C-alpha cells in the first residue's frame, strides 16, 4: 500500500499540472493576503479575530484548488487511459480508491501548507511594518481550520472523481454544484423555511469549517458532515471503480 | 500457465466472447489469433482482471489475476490501447510503475535501453511516434522480468527491425520457460514466432493447435506436368490417389509430391514438373475463421 501511495505521489510530481496548481495556490494566497491587509482600514486590522479571519479567507481559493486537484488526480486515469496500467499493478480496486483519497489529502496538505506559508510570511512582514502585534493563537486557530478544510476538500475531490470518472463531468459538476445548484437550494429551502437543512449540503458543510461568522453548523459539525459526504462518495467510488470494465 | 475456462463476456446484448476455453503452457509462445472484433482484446483483459467475465474463469499461474501476490512482478502486459500519460516522460512512466511494483529503479534504464528508447526516455510521451509508444509499452511489460507475458498486438507500429527484435526476444524468453500469449490478426506475422496458436472468431474458439498443424493445413495438392499425363492419372487413381487431368499435359493430384514422384518413377513416367501447391497461411487463417476475403484485424 505504501509503495502504491509513493507511486501516486510520483505521478503528481512528474506532471506539470499539479505544479501549476501549487503555483496558483501560492499566487492566490499572496493576492488574498495582500487584499486582506492592504484593502482594510487600520481600525479593522485591530479588530478582534482579524488575523484569524485573514488566514481563513485564504482557505477558500485553496480549498477549491484542492477539490479540483483531487478530482483530476483520479479522473486523469480515465481521461488518459492510464487506469488499465494502474489496475495491472493494483488489481484490488478498493486499494486504489483508498490510495487516491489519501493522495487527495496529501495534495491538499501540500497546497495548503504552501498557501499558509506564503500568507504567514507576508502577514508577519506587513503587520510588523504596521506595528500590529501578531496574535499567535488566532493565526494557529485559523491555520488549523483552513488546513482541515483544504485537506478534506482534496479527499472530497478524489472521492468525487472516483465516483464520476469523467474528468469534464466531475470538474464541471463540482463547480456547477458549488456555485449554482447549492445556492439555488439555499433559496428554495429558505422559501420553505427549511434554511437549517441547507447547512448540511456538501459545499455548506465544507464552507462551515472555515466560516468566520459562525452562521452555519459549528466547526465539529461541519467537519463531521463533510466526512459523511466523503463517506457517501467513497462508497460510490468503490462501487463504480470496482465494477467497471476497463475496455 | 494461463487457463481460460468457459469464458463468456457480454456487453448488453452484444456477446464479445462465448464459452471460450484454452490453455497457454509455460515455455511456449502461443499466438492468439482472430480477425477484428473476434474478442481477443476482451479475452486478454479478462485474463488480466480488467474485465469481469459474465461467465467462466480465467487463471494466471493457477489463480485469478486479482488474487495473485505481486501480479506486477509476475505478469507483464502490453495492451492494445496506449496507457501512459502523454504529459509524463517515458522514463518517469516506468519509474512510477517500478516504484509501485517494488522494482529497482536501475531496471528502468535497463528496459529503456533494451527497447532502444534510451535517449527518448526523457522526452514527454505525447511526442512519441506509434512505434516509440509500442516500445514503451513493451518496456513496461518487461520491466519486472515477469514469468508470464500477455501482449496484445505487440508488433503494431514496429519497424521491420523492431519486429525482428520482438520475435527474437519472445523466442528467447519462452526458451527460459516463461509463458507467453501474443495476439495478432495476421497469422503470417506470428507464424515464425509462435509454437501454438489459439484461433478465435466471433468470440468462439475455432481451433487450438501447434503451428506445425496449422501449416500442414496449408498443404493443398501436387501439380504435375508430364507428356504422359493421361497414363499417369490412371496410375495414380489405381494407387488410390485422387488425380485429375487439367490439360493435355497437366495433372492435379491430392497427395504429397514424394508419393506422386515415386509412383511415376516406378512406372517409368517422365515428369517435366512436380510442384507442391500450398495455400498461404493467411488463406488458411481466413478459411478457419470461415470468412474468405475478410481482412482481419
All residues of chain A having their beta carbon less than 8 Å from the beta carbon of residue B88 are: 11, 14-15
What is residue A197's three-state secondary structure? helix
**CA–CA separation, B71 vs A86, rounded Å?**
12
Q: Which residues pair with B274 in a beta bridge?
A: B224
Look at residue B68 in the predicted model and tell me its pLDDT. Answer: 92
Look at residue A212 in the predicted model and tell me its pLDDT. Answer: 66
> What does the pLDDT average to over A22-36?
93
Which three cell numbers mark A190? 429558505
Q: Are B7 and B17 in contact (CB under 8 A)?
A: yes
Which residue of chain B has the CA closest to A91?
Answer: B66
Consecutive H or E run containing A19: helix A16-38
Cβ contact B51–A246 (<8 Å):
yes
Q: What DSSP letter does each residue of A112-156 carry, written as one string?
A: HHHHHHHHHHHHHHHHHHTTPPP-HHHHHHHHHHHHHHHHHHHHH
Look at residue B295 in the predicted model and tell me its pLDDT. Answer: 41
Which three cell numbers mark B79? 495492451
**B201: closest CA among B292, B96, B274?**
B292
Which three cell numbers mark B185? 490478426
pLDDT band at residue A134 using 50, 70 and 90 as cut-offs: confident
| B187 touches A: beta carbon within 8 Å | no
Look at residue A1 in the predicted model and tell me its pLDDT. Answer: 81
Q: Each residue of A82-112: pLDDT tens digit?
A: 999 999 999 999 999 999 999 999 999 999 9
Q: H/E/C letters for each residue in B188-201?
A: HHHCCCCCEEEEEE
Nearest to A85 among B52, B95, B140 (CB): B140
* Residue pointed to by grid coordinates 531496471: B107
Q: Are A160 and A68 in contact (CB under 8 A)?
A: no
Look at residue B291 in the predicted model and tell me its pLDDT. Answer: 60
Contacts of A88 (CB under 8 A, 6+ apart): B48, B49, B50, B71, B72, B75, B77
Look at residue B53 in the predicted model and tell me its pLDDT. Answer: 95
Cβ contact A7–B99 (<8 Å):
yes
> What does the pLDDT average to over A217-241?
94
Identify the residue among B81, B83, B103, B121 best suited for mutation to test binding to A, counting A beta carbons within 10 A and taking the highest: B83
Nearest to A81 among B41, B77, B83 (CB): B83
Residue B27 φ/ψ region, left for φ over 0, alpha for ψ in the -120 to 50 degree band, beta for the rest: left
CA distance A18 to chain B (A): 12
How would you class B151 by CB atoms within 10 Å of its CB: exposed for 0-12, middle for 13-18, buried for 19 or more? Answer: buried
> What does the pLDDT average to over A201-213?
86
All residues of chain B having their beta carbon less than 8 Å from the beta carbon of residue A14 are: 88-89, 92, 95-96
pLDDT in tens, chain B (297 residues): 999 999 999 999 999 999 999 999 999 999 999 888 899 999 999 999 999 999 999 999 999 999 998 898 999 999 988 889 999 999 999 999 999 999 999 999 999 998 888 889 999 999 999 889 999 999 999 999 999 999 999 988 888 888 888 899 999 999 999 999 999 988 877 888 899 999 999 999 998 999 888 877 777 788 999 999 999 999 999 999 988 888 888 998 988 888 999 999 999 999 999 998 877 777 777 777 776 544 433
How far out from the chain centre does Cα A65 lie?
6
- What residue segments make up the domains of chain A, in order of their start? 2-243
Cβ contact A10–B99 (<8 Å):
yes
Model's pTM, two decimal places? 0.85
CA distance B98 to chain A (A): 8
Amino acid at each position: 500500500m505504501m509503495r502504491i501511495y509513493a507511486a501516486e505521489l510520483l505521478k503528481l510530481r512528474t506532471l506539470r499540472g499539479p505544479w501549476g496548481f501549487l503555483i496558483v495556490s501560492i499566487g492566490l494566497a499572496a493576492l488574498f493576503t495582500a487584499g486582506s491587509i492592504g484593502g482594510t482600514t487600520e481600525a479593522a486590522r485591530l479588530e478582534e479575530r482579524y488575523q484569524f479571519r485573514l488566514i481563513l479567507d485564504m482557505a477558500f481559493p485553496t480549498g477549491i484548488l484542492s477539490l479540483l486537484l483531487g478530482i483530476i488526480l483520479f479522473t486523469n486515469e480515465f481521461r488518459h487511459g492510464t487506469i488499465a496500467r494502474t489496475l495491472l499493478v493494483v488489481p484490488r480496486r478498493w486499494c486504489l480508491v483508498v490510495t487516491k483519497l489519501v493522495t487527495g489529502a496529501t495534495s491538499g496538505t501540500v497546497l495548503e501548507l504552501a498557501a499558509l506559508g506564503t500568507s504567514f510570511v507576508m502577514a508577519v512582514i506587513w503587520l510588523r511594518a504596521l506595528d500590529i502585534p501578531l496574535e499567535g493563537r488566532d493565526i494557529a486557530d485559523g491555520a488549523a481550520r483552513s488546513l482541515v478544510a483544504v485537506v478534506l476538500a482534496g479527499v472530497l475531490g478524489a472521492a468525487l472523481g472516483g465516483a464520476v470518472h469523467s474528468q469534464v463531468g466531475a470538474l464541471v459538476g463540482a463547480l456547477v454544484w458549488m456555485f449554482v445548484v447549492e445556492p439555488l437550494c439555499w433559496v428554495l429551502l429558505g422559501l420553505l423555511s427549511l434554511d437549517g437543512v441547507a447547512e448540511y449540503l456538501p459545499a455548506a458543510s465544507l464552507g462551515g469549517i472555515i466560516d468566520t461568522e459562525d452562521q452555519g453548523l459549528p466547526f465539529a459539525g461541519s467537519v463531521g458532515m463533510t466526512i459523511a459526504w466523503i463517506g457517501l462518495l467513497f462508497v460510490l467510488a468503490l462501487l463504480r471503480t470496482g465494477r467497471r470494465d476497463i475496455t | 500457465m494461463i487457463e481460460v475456462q468457459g469464458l463468456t463476456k457480454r456487453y448488453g446484448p452484444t456477446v464479445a466472447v462465448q464459452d471460450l476455453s484454452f490453455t497457454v503452457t509455460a515455455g511456449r509462445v502461443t499466438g492468439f489469433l482472430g480477425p477484428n472484433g473476434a474478442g481477443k482484446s476482451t479475452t486478454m483483459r479478462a485474463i488480466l482482471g480488467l474485465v469481469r467475465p459474465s461467465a467462466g474463469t480465467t487463471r494466471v499461474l493457477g489463480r485469478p489475476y486479482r488474487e495473485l501476490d505481486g501480479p506486477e512482478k509476475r505478469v507483464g502486459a502490453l495492451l492494445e490501447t496506449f496507457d501512459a500519460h502523454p504529459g509524463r516522460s517515458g522514463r518517469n512512466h516506468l519509474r512510477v510503475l517500478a516504484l509501485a511494483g517494488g522494482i529497482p529503479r536501475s531496471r528502468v534504464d535497463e528496459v529503456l535501453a533494451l527497447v532502444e528508447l534510451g535517449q527518448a526516455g526523457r522526452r514527454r510521451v505525447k511526442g512519441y511516434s506509434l512505434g516509440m509508444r509500442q516500445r514503451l509499452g513493451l518496456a513496461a511489460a518487461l520491466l519486472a522480468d515477469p514469468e508470464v507475458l500477455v501482449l496484445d498486438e505487440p508488433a503494431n507500429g514496429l519497424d521491420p527491425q523492431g519486429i525482428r527484435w520482438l520475435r527474437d526476444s519472445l523466442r528467447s524468453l519462452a526458451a527460459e520457460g516463461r509463458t507467453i500469449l501474443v495476439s495478432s490478426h495476421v497469422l503470417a506475422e506470428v507464424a515464425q514466432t509462435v509454437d501454438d496458436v489459439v484461433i478465435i472468431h466471433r468470440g468462439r474458439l475455432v481451433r487450438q493447435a501447434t503451428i506445425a498443424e496449422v501449416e500442414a493445413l496449408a498443404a493443398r495438392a501436387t501439380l504435375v506436368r508430364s507428356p504422359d499425363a493421361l497414363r499417369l492419372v490412371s496410375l495414380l487413381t489405381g494407387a488410390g490417389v485422387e488425380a485429375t487431368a487439367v490439360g493435355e499435359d497437366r495433372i492435379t493430384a491430392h497427395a504429397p509430391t514424394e508419393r506422386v514422384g515415386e509412383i511415376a518413377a516406378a512406372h517409368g513416367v517422365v515428369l517435366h514438373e512436380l510442384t507442391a501447391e500450398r495455400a498461404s497461411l493467411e488463406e488458411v487463417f481466413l478459411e478457419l475463421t470461415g470468412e474468405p476475403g475478410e481482412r482481419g484485424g
